[in-house]
């Protein structure tokens, strides 16, 4: 669809593929195309799960520093809102999203991976938020999504130091969920995504919204979000299908209704 970002759909799984040689640097055009791709797959009723993938060599090495270097405060003040909106569009895809991480996922690349629900990394992958080494801080969600994922202390370590972590360390701190051989990253993500492809679409969206929105509020408000999502699902055909199949000891065939 875009010059550097395309969407490929097969077997109800959409792959958002970054393809900007050589390192998938996330310039303004790529950011915009990522947002457009996210909104496209979110609205597509055929798509049940999504994979974020940068190819066999690299996920995304970060923002396009050459593009940012000459920006003024006024320039970045205007652009940073668009940057965050594009990444937030990925985080708000109402379907399971898996980041398949090869090579580097640094800076904006790491922040893009943080927008996924799950992360699969290759053995030689490197992740990090090195913005501090440029005299700046993460601006596409890193200071917010990273501490929510790994805790504030570990997030501050990565953000304050700018250091890269190996796939093994990323797994140990909860930054990634699985580590596989480098040549198996996309296959592993695809296998994981396929476990959601036949699931109840509306219930999966409700579950994701309940968890994500609940993390932003107090417990009582979160429980109310859950209660409303839970009770609302009893208006769906899939809920009837699922409970009927349970009673009859058969496998449910969900329709997304």
**Residue of 36, 111, 168, 237 marked catalytic:** 111
Q: Who wins on pLDDT, 73 or 66? A: 73
Which of 48, 45, 41 has its CA nearest to residue 11? 48
**Calpha distance 109→101 (Å, rounded):** 9
Domains of the chain: which residue ranges?
A: 5-197, 201-248
C-alpha closest to that of 125 among 57, 40, 187, 78: 57
Q: What is the mean pLDDT of residues 210-216?
A: 96
Task: Give the model confidence (pLDDT) of 185-210 as tens digits.
Answer: 999 999 999 999 999 999 999 999 99
Nearest to 63 by CA among 87, 97, 37: 87
- Looking at 3.90.226.10, 3.40.50.1390, 3.40.30.10, 1.10.1760.20, the CATH number of the domain 5-197 comes to 3.90.226.10
Query: In which element (H, E) is residue 218 found?
Result: none
CA dist 61 and 88 (Å) reads: 19
191 catalytic per annotation: no
Evaluate whether 138 touches 111 at the Cβ level (below 8 Å): yes
pLDDT tens readout for residues 88-122:
999 999 999 999 999 999 999 999 999 999 999 99
What's the pLDDT score for residue 69? 85
Q: Give the domain 201-248 fold.
A: Lyase 2-enoyl-coa Hydratase; Chain  A, domain 2 (1.10.12)
Strands 126-128 and 118-122: unpaired
How many CB atoms sit inside 10 A of residue 194's CB? Answer: 14
pTM (2 decimals)? Answer: 0.94
Are the CB atoms for 145 and 111 separated by under 8 Å? Answer: yes
- Whether residue 60 contacts residue 80, with contact meaning beta carbons closer than 8 Å, is answered with no
Q: Which of 3, 36, 123, 131 is catalytic?
A: 131
pLDDT at 80: 87
Q: How does residue 147 score in pLDDT terms, banded at 50, 70 and 90? A: very high
131 is annotated as an active-site residue = yes
């Amino acid at each position: 669809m875009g010059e550097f970002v395309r969407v490929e759909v097969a077997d109800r799984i959409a792959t958002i593929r970054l393809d900007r040689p050589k390192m998938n640097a996330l310039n303004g055009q790529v950011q915009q195309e990522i947002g457009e791709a996210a909104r496209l797959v979110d609205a597509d009723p055929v798509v049940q799960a999504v994979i974020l993938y940068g190819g066999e060599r690299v996920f995304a090495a970060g923002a396009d520093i050459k593009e940012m270097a000459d920006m003024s405060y006024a320039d970045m003040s205007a652009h940073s809102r668009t940057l965050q909106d594009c990444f937030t569009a990925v985080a708000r895809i109402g379907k399971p999203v898996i980041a398949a991480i090869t090579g580097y996922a640094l800076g904006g690349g790491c922040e893009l991976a943080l927008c996924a629900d799950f992360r699969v990394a290759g053995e030689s992958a490197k992740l990090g938020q090195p913005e501090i080494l440029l005299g700046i801080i993460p601006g596409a969600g890193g200071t917010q999504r990273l501490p929510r994922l790994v805790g504030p202390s570990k997030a501050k370590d990565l953000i304050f130091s700018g250091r890269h972590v190996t796939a093994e360390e990323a797994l140990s701190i909860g930054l990634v969920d699985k580590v596989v051989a480098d040549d198996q990253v996309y296959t592993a993500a695809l296998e994981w995504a396929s476990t959601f492809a036949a699931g109840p679409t509306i219930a999966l969206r409700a579950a994701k919204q309940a968890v994500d929105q609940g993390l932003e509020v107090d417990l009582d408000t979160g429980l109310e979000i859950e209660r409303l999502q839970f009770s609302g699902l009893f208006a769906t055909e899939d809920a009837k299908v699922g409970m009927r199949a349970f009673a009859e000891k058969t496998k449910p065939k969900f329709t997304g209704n």
